[in-house]
A and B are shown apart, each in its own frame.
Chain A
Amino acid sequence: MIEDIERAELEGPKIDRRTTVKLLGASGIAATAGCLGGDSGGDGDDGSGDDDGSGDDDGSGSSGDDGESSGSTGGRISAGWLTDEIEFLDPHMVDLGIQIEVHSNLFNGLLKLDEDTQIVGDAAADWSLPDESTYVFELHEDMTFHNGDPLDAEAVKWSLERLAGMETSPHTGKVSNVDSIEADGLELTINLSEPYAPFVSFMLRGPGRAGTIVHESAADDPDEYARMPIGSGPFELTDRTAGESLTLDAYDDYWETDEDGNQLPYLDGVDIELIPEPSTMWSAIQGGEIDYANLLTGEFAQQAEATDSITVQTASSGEWSGIAPLHMNPADETETVRWISGLGEDPTEMWNGEDIPTSDPRVREAIAIGIDREEIVERAWFGYAEPAHTLYNPAIGWLFEALGGSEPDTGFYYDPERAEELLDEAGYTDDPRIEATVLALPEDERELTVVQDQLSDIGIEIELDIQQQSSYWDNTYRYEQLLTAYGGAADVDPWMSDFKQFGYPNEETTEGAWQRSLYFDEDYSELINEANATPDLEDRAEVYLDVNEKFIEDAVFVTTVFPLNPKALGEVVSGVGTQGGLSNFHRASLDE
C-alpha cells in the first residue's frame, strides 16, 4: 500500500497534493483524490509558479480569483492573436505556441497544467502507477466530442495509437516507448517498455501535445482535420477565414462545471482575430476593438501596464533562450553530424586545421559569465524575462525550485574579471581576444546587441549574422559559425530542454537529434538518462542537481533569459488562464 502511494507521487507533482493522496489513500477513498481543476487563472496569478495553497485543486481556488463563480455571464469576446496565420490545429502536428494556445481551448488532454503550472488531470479524473512503467488513467464520465461521439478510454487509445503510427508528426517520439495500451470503459492503461519519467508531461493538453485527444475523423481527411478539427474542449471551432480569423463557439455539452456546478465555459464564444503586427495589436486593444491580446511585445506591454483599463498578465511558456557554442570540428564526426543535420550532406570541412576557441571549456565559461543577464532583461526584454542562470525554466516548477529558484546555487553569474582570467588561461590574450560570428533570427537581434556590448568588454568581438527562419534553421545544422542563438519553448519537462539538444546522439532514441553545439559527452548523457528513468520527482530532482552541475561545469550552452509572455486583458475581461503561456478561456468571463 505504502509503495503504491510512493509511486502515486507522479500523479501530481505537488507536495500538498501528495500528502492528500496519502491521507485519503490510507482512509480507503483514494479515488476521490484526483485533481479535476479547471483552468482559471485570475488576475493575481502571474504564472511565476509559486504555490499559494489554493493550487492543489484549482477548481476550488476561486477565492483567489475574481468572481468567476458568479456564473454564466455569456457574451463573446474578441481576442487578438499575434500571428499572420494559424495553419494547423491537429494537435499531433502542431508545434508552435501560437497554435497550441488555440487548440488548448478546443481539446482535452489526459492531463493539463493548472494555474500554478503544476500537472493535474484534464480528461483523466485521476491516475496512478501500479508499477513504474504502467500508468492507469481513470477518465471523467460523460465526456463527448463536439460531434457527440463519446470520449472514453477507447477514444484516447485510438488517439495515442494514431500518433505512434504517424510518420511526419514532431511528437511521435514521445510515444515511441509505449509498449501497449488497454482500454476498458473509462479506464486506460498505458504500459511503457521501461520507466520513463517525462512521459507524464507528454500527456498534457497544451505544451505536451502527445496526450491531446484527437477524434478518429482525423484519419479520414487529415488536411480537413488540421483545418477544422473536432475536439472535446469547452469551445468548438465553427468557422475560420484563412489568415484572418477563427470563430470559437461554446460547446453546449461540455462536461466540465465550476465548483458551484455552473456549466463551463461561461462565454458564448471567442472570436480570434489574427494580427501580425505588434503595434496594430497594441492599438487594437487600446482602442477597445479587441478585449484580449495573446501577446504584446515588451515596449507595448510597458505602455499597457501604465493604462488603467488594461491588465497585463505574464507567464513563462516554458521558453528559454541562449547561445550554442560550437564544441568541436563537425568533420571529426562526419556520420553522426550527417544524421543530426538531416540535410543529406557531409558536414563542412572549413574547421580542419583551424582553431575553434569555443571547444575550450574555459572560453565557453568566459562567455557564459561575461554576460550580464540582468542587463539583458532590462535593455532587451523591457523587464519581461527572467535571467537564465541555468537551463531549466520556471514553467518546470518542481525543478526550477529544486535548483534554487531565480538564483540557483549552481549557475552562470556575471563575473567579467573571472571571464578575462579564464581567457588569459586559455591563451587568448590578443586584442581582440576572440572574433566570432553568431547566427541568429531577427527576433534575437535586440538581445544579441546587448550581448555584443558585454562580450566586447571582455575582449570577445561578435558579429551578428541575422537570417530569416527559412535559412536559419538549415544553417544551424551547418556549423559554420562559432556561436548560434538558440532556444526552446513549451518546455514543461526538463527532457524537452536537454535530451535532444545536448544528449549524446543516438539514432534509435533520437537523443541529441537537435545538437546545435555538437556536445558529445557520454557522462552527461548517462546522467540525463538516469534522471529520465527516475519517475519519483524528488529523486529525479536529486539527479538533476548533478545534471545541472555538469552542464554548468562544461558550459555546455550559454543560457541568457527565460522570456515571460505579456498578455493583455481589456477592461471587461477576466479569468483567462495564462499558465504555461496559454490563453485558456474555459473560465473567462465578461464583466457587466
Chain B
Amino acid sequence: MLFVVTVVFFAVRAVPGDPARLMLGGDADPAALTALRQELGLNQPLYVQYFQWLRRLLTGNFGESIRTGEPVLGSLAQVAGPTISIAALGMVIALMIAVPTGILSSVKRYEIEDYVSTTIAFFGISMPAFWIGIVLILVIGVNVDSIPTFGYTPIDEGVSPWFRSIILPAFAVGFPYGGILMRMMRSSMLEVLNEDYMRTARAKGLSSNLVLFKHGLQNALIPVVTLAGIFLAVVLGGVVAVEIVFGIRGIGRLLIGSINRRDFPLIQGTVLIISFVFVLANIVVDLLYTMINPRIKYGGGE
C-alpha cells in the first residue's frame, strides 16, 4: 500500500494543471492565484507536502478536499452508496447472464444455443457501458414511466424506487462484464468437459447433470472466479462512465470531478480506497477457491 500511496501522490502531481487556477477560473488574476496557492499550501516543496500527507494518513486522516473543505472520507462515504449498489447489482446481472449461457453454450457447442449465447456475449464485450446506458435511457427510460432516466434514490427511501433507479445503470455495467465472464465460462467448461475425469465420471454411470455440475462446473469455476476478480476493473470503469450518463453522483463521478479540478487530496483518497477495495476483492477471490474446491488450502503443510 505504501507503494500505491507514493505512486498516487507523485503521479497526481506530475500531470500538468494547477488547482488554484482551476478553482478561480481560467481568467484569474495573477495576484489572487498566488494568494490562493499560499492558502492551500501548494507553494511548499513537493517532499514537504508528501511527508505531511503521509504523516496524516498514518493517523487515518485522509485530509480535506481543496475545493469544498470537506473531509475526504466524509465525501467518499456520501457517494459510496450508489456505486456499491450499481456495482453489486451489475455483478449479479453479469453472473445471471454469464453462468447459465456459458454452461449452455459449452454443452451445446456449435449448436444454435451456442451461437446465440456467443453473439450476445460478443455484443456485451464490444459495447462500452456508457453507450449501453444511453441506449437504455432512450429506449426504456423515456418510454417506461416507472423507470427514471437519471438520478439515484437511496435505499432508505424504499427498496422499489431504489431498485428502479439502479436497474438500468446496473444492466449497463453488468452486460459487458457478463459478456467477458460468459466467454471465460464457456472456454473453461469446454476444457473441463474434455478432461479424462469427466469421461470416467460418465463411464461410472453418473447422471449427466451431476457430472456437469459437480465435476464439471466446480472445476471450471476456478479460472472464472480468478478472472472475475481481476476484471472487477471493468465494472469499476463501467460505473464511472455510467454514473455520468445517468447523472448519479457516485465514487466514479467524484473521482473524475476531482481529477478535472486537480483536487489532490480527494484524488489521492479516492484512488487509495479503490485500490484497497481491489486488493480486498482479490483476497476474497482467493478465499472463494477453498470453498469451490476444498483441495486448495492456504498455510503450512499437514
Residues of A participating in the B interface, judged by any CB pair closer than 8 Å: 84-85, 87, 95-96, 167-170, 172-173, 223, 227, 241-245, 273-277, 279-280, 283-284, 286-287, 289, 339-343, 468-476, 488, 500, 510, 513-514
Contact = CB atoms under 8 A, between A and B. Distances in A.
Contacts of B261: 470
B36 A84 contact: no
B32 interface: yes
Given A169-B32, A245-B151, 15 more contacts: A84-B253, A170-B28, A223-B69, A243-B257, A279-B245, A280-B134, A280-B150, A283-B141, A289-B148, A342-B33, A343-B18, A469-B26, A470-B17, A473-B26, A488-B27
Given A87-B67, A277-B245, A168 B142 contact: no
Contact of A223 (B18, B68, B148): B68
Contact of B25 (A170, A172, A276): A170
B27 A244 contact: no
B244 A500 contact: no
Contacts of B36: 167-168
Contacts of A289: 148-150
Interface in B11-64: 15-18, 21-22, 24-36, 39
B119 interface: no
A106 B194 CA distance: 71
A503 B149 CA distance: 48
A286 B142 contact: yes
B247 interface: yes
A33 B13 CA distance: 57
Interface in B122-179: 134, 137-138, 141-143, 148-152
Contacts of B24: 95, 168, 170
Contacts of B78: 242
Given A280-B245, A514-B27, A170 B32 contact: yes
A279 B79 CA distance: 23
Interface in B55-96: 67-69, 75, 78-79
Given A87-B68, A470-B16, A279 B137 contact: yes
A440 to B, nearest CB: 13
* Candidate in B29, B141, B143 with the most chain A CB atoms within 10 angstroms: B29
Nearest to A223: B69
B22 A473 contact: yes
A284 B150 contact: yes
A473 B142 contact: no
B215 interface: no
Interface residues of B, number: 51
15 contacts: A84-B244, A95-B27, A168-B24, A170-B25, A223-B68, A227-B68, A243-B79, A244-B248, A277-B244, A279-B245, A283-B141, A340-B30, A473-B21, A474-B21, A513-B29
Most buried by B among A168, A273, A339, A471: A168
Interface of B: 15-18, 21-22, 24-36, 39, 67-69, 75, 78-79, 134, 137-138, 141-143, 148-152, 244-249, 253-254, 256-257, 259-262
Nearest to A338: B30
A283 B142 CA distance: 6
A287 B141 CA distance: 8
B38 to A, nearest CB: 9
Nearest to B78: A242
Contacts of A276: 244, 247, 253
Contacts of B254: 243
B247 A274 contact: yes
Nearest to A94: B25
A197 B281 CA distance: 64
B17 A510 contact: no
A12 to B, nearest CB: 28
A442 to B, nearest CB: 11
A513 B25 CA distance: 14
A472 B15 CA distance: 12
A286 B145 CA distance: 12
A490 B141 CA distance: 35
B149 A287 contact: yes
Nearest to A496: B27
A465 to B, nearest CB: 13
A476 B36 CA distance: 20
A500 B69 CA distance: 30
Contacts of A286: 142
A289 B261 CA distance: 30
Contacts of B256: 84
A341 B22 CA distance: 14
B149 A283 contact: yes
B275 to A, nearest CB: 22
A342 B244 contact: no
A223 B23 CA distance: 14
Contacts of A474: 16-18, 21
A85 B263 CA distance: 14
B29 A280 contact: no
Which of B16, B34, B256 has its CB near the most chain A CB atoms (within 10 A)?
Answer: B16
A510 B30 CA distance: 9
B134 A279 contact: yes
A73 B30 CA distance: 49
Contacts of A242: 68, 75, 78, 249
B15 A470 contact: yes
Among B21, B142, B149, B259, max chain A CB count under 10 A is at: B149
Contacts of A169: 32
A168 B32 contact: yes
Contact of A277 (B21, B247, B249): B247
Of A85, A245, A341, A513, most buried by chain B (CB within 10 Å of CB) is: A85
B258 to A, nearest CB: 10
A342 B249 CA distance: 34
B22 A510 contact: no
Contacts of A472: 26
A280 B31 CA distance: 40
A409 B141 CA distance: 51
A468 B260 CA distance: 8
Point out which of A170, A277, A472 has the most chain B C-beta atoms below 10 A from its C-beta.
Answer: A277
Contacts of B35: 167-168
Contacts of A470: 15-18, 22, 259-262
Contacts of B143: 287
B30 A469 contact: no
Contacts of A277: 134, 244-247
A510 B29 contact: yes
Nearest to A245: B151
Contact of B30 (A243, A342, A468): A342
Contacts of B27: 95, 170, 488, 500, 514
B123 to A, nearest CB: 20
B260 A244 contact: no
B22 A284 contact: no
B204 to A, nearest CB: 57
A482 to B, nearest CB: 20
A44 to B, nearest CB: 29
Across chains A and B, which 8 residue pairs bring their CB atoms closest together, nearest first? A470-B17, A243-B249, A342-B30, A95-B25, A287-B142, A471-B16, A275-B247, A167-B35
A165 B156 CA distance: 45
Contacts of B141: 283, 287
A345 B138 CA distance: 50
B274 to A, nearest CB: 18
A541 B173 CA distance: 58
A200 to B, nearest CB: 21
A284 B150 CA distance: 7
B152 A244 contact: yes
A340 B246 CA distance: 41
Contacts of A167: 32, 35-36, 39
B151 A273 contact: yes
B152 A84 contact: no
